[in-house]
């Protein structure tokens, strides 16, 4: 198999122009060679590549060195020497990969290329032609060291997964379902010191078509927590708190699109990387009652719980009464989303979270037949995202080094037809 072109390296999709620029500056020593100090990796023959000229061959050698493909038993690649077929240096013969600390000496028949340290911070990329840093959207300064104002164009946007059910949920509602959240890689949030993520399950129940529950990692400045929220219905039906963790609340009051009154249930719970939690929502009573001042309201009661892997202790996140709802109605939506708290610049930190497919406890006849994901933000400049599937789990990933398998305007099919 021949080696062709530049392969992806950290923050490869960073420039808005679409041009790929190496993460490291390259110091060129024409007419120089390096004695010894090889990595131990095999030399790369020009004839074993798809390169058609010296420039393309240098790009391939550079990519291999930066990606670690030219590391050997002696150490990590930090440069390479190009040998030629003759003294005219018109056609490369092969390259030899060198370790750090290599000192070029004059040798007219060869050329030496050494990788310099990348001076650009926050996933900025070094532009060899201008010898400056091209900053990723959301950062500025000579070395991209400054965080510019976060906005809708440079922030990390939420990614969504929609499940397909058989029969469809609008024909056969769910009354008891659970799903696992796995904190695969979240330590970068604490290191960043602020912001965070919300792993949520959006739900519709009867006439109450706005609600969700899930878990938030809040960084080092605030407590992590489990949440369960439902908004009042458009027909005037209200929701009422049935547990000490729950209160009437203006949900998402900072939002211009979906702020409104409802009930919010919250349970503070420190969570760490590597931990797994199974969250479950179910109808626990077909008819409950709630008295507010002189009024008594009735309706079915729904509960959200959480259990940590390896524990028998069930945490009640909250219980909510849905006023005047038909108890025979259940969940007509159960999907998932992965969201950043507040405005978080695209390259702020790395994060990866696993989400197992939901387990449907009732009705037992309903099965999941497919899943697809999307971002749906074609005007946003952040390309450090991805959604993948491994076994029965879906993974959301963001931050430096993440490369998307689909465009922001596309929907990726994760399984099913």
pLDDT in tens, 220-229: 768 999 999 9
pLDDT > 70? residue 21: no
Last residue of a domain, one of 52, 86, 116: 116
Give CA–CA dist 361/168, Å, rounded: 16
CATH number of 97's domain: 3.50.4
Same domain, residue pair 70 and 183: no
Which of 9-23, 82-96, 182-196, 211-225 is the most confident on average? 82-96
Rounded to the nearest angstrom, the gap between the alpha carbon of residue 133 and the centroid of all alpha carbons in its chain is: 25
Quick one: average pLDDT of 6-19? Answer: 34
pLDDT > 90? residue 417: no
Instruction: Assign 192 to helix, strand or coil.
Output: helix
Same domain, residue pair 36 and 164: no
What confidence score (pLDDT) does residue 328 get? 95
Is 347 domain-assigned?
yes
Residue 277 to residues 178, 239, 395, Cα–Cα distance (Å): 10, 26, 15
Is 153 domain-assigned?
no
Same domain, residue pair 256 and 353: yes
Same domain, residue pair 102 and 166: no
Same domain, residue pair 63 and 180: no
What are 125-149's pLDDT values in tens digits?
A: 777 677 688 888 788 888 888 888 8
Inter-residue contact 162 to 371 (CB < 8 Å)? yes
Last residue of a domain, one of 116, 133, 151: 116
pLDDT interval class at 256 (50, 70, 90): low
Same domain, residue pair 321 and 184: yes
Quick one: average pLDDT of 361-387? Answer: 93
Comparing 114-123, 361-370, 371-380, the range with the smallest average pLDDT is: 114-123
- With residues binned 3-state (H G I as helix, E B as strand, rest as coil), the percentages for the chain, rounded to 5, are 5, 50, 45
Give CA–CA dist 270/287, Å, rounded: 34
Comparison of pLDDT for 26 and 207, the residue scoring more? 207
pLDDT > 80? residue 117: no
Instruction: Assign 59 to helix, strand or coil.
Output: helix
Is 306 domain-assigned?
yes
CATH number of 396's domain: 2.60.120
What confidence score (pLDDT) does residue 344 get? 92
pLDDT > 50? residue 380: yes
Nearest to 387 by CA among 417, 358, 351, 360: 351
Comparison of pLDDT for 118 and 315, the residue scoring more? 315
* Domain region containing 88: 26-116
Comparison of pLDDT for 306 and 187, the residue scoring more? 306
Is 191 domain-assigned?
yes
Same domain, residue pair 173 and 315: yes
171: phi then psi, degrees, rounded to nearest 5:
-105, -30
Return the bridge partners of 164, or none: 370
What confidence score (pLDDT) does residue 9 get? 34
Look over the chain and give the mean of its residue pLDDT values, rounded to a whole number.
89
Give CA–CA dist 46/57, Å, rounded: 7
pLDDT > 90? residue 20: no
pLDDT interval class at 4 (50, 70, 90): very low
What confidence score (pLDDT) does residue 305 get? 98
Last residue of a domain, one of 116, 144, 175: 116
Quick one: average pLDDT of 20-30? Answer: 70
180 token code pair: 């696992």
Is 226 domain-assigned?
yes
What confidence score (pLDDT) does residue 17 get? 34
Q: The pTM is what?
A: 0.73
The answer for residues whose C-beta is within 8 angstroms of residue 53's C-beta and 6 or more apart is none
Domains: count for the chain: 2
């Amino acid at each position: 198999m021949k080696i062709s072109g530049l392969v992806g390296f950290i923050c490869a999709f960073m420039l808005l122009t679409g041009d790929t620029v190496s993460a490291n500056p390259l110091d060129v020593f024409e007419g120089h060679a390096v004695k010894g100090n090889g990595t131990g990796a095999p030399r790369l023959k020009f004839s074993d590549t798809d390169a058609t000229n010296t420039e393309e061959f240098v790009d391939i050698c550079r990519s291999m060195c930066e990606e670690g493909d030219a590391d050997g038993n002696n150490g990590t690649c930090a440069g390479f020497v190009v040998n030629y077929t003759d003294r005219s240096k018109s056609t490369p013969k092969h390259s030899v990969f060198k370790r750090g600390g290599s000192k070029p000496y004059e040798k007219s028949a060869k050329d030496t290329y050494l990788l310099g340290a990348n001076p650009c911070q926050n996933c900025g990329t070094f532009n060899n032609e201008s010898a400056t840093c091209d900053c990723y959207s959301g950062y500025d300064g000579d070395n991209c060291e400054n965080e510019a104002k976060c906005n809708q164009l440079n922030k990390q946007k939420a990614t969504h997964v929609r499940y397909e059910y058989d029969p469809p949920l609008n024909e056969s509602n769910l009354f008891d379902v659970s799903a696992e959240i796995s904190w695969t890689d979240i330590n970068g949030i604490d290191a960043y010191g602020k912001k965070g993520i919300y792993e949520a399950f959006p739900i519709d129940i009867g006439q109450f078509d706005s609600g969700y529950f899930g878990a938030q990692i809040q960084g080092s400045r605030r407590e992590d927590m489990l949440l369960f929220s439902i908004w009042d219905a458009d027909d005037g039906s209200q929701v009422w708190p049935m547990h000490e963790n729950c209160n009437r609340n203006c949900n998402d009051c900072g939002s211009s699109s979906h702020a409104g009154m409802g009930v919010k249930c919250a349970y503070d719970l420190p969570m760490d990387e590597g931990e797994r939690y199974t969250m479950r929502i179910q109808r626990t009573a077909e008819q409950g009652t709630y008295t507010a001042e002189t009024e008594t309201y009735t309706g079915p009661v729904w509960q959200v719980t959480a259990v940590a892997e390896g524990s028998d202790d069930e945490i009640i996140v909250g219980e909510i009464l849905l006023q005047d709802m038909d108890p025979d109605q259940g969940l007509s939506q159960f999907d998932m989303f992965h969201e950043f708290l507040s405005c978080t610049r695209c390259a702020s930190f790395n994060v990866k979270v696993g989400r197992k497919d939901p387990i449907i406890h009732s009705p037992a006849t309903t099965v999941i037949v497919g899943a697809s994901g999307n971002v749906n933000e074609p005007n946003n400049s952040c390309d450090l995202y991805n959604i993948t599937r491994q076994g029965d789990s879906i993974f959301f990933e963001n931050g430096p080094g993440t490369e998307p398998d689909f465009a922001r305007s596309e929907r990726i099919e994760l399984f099913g037809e």
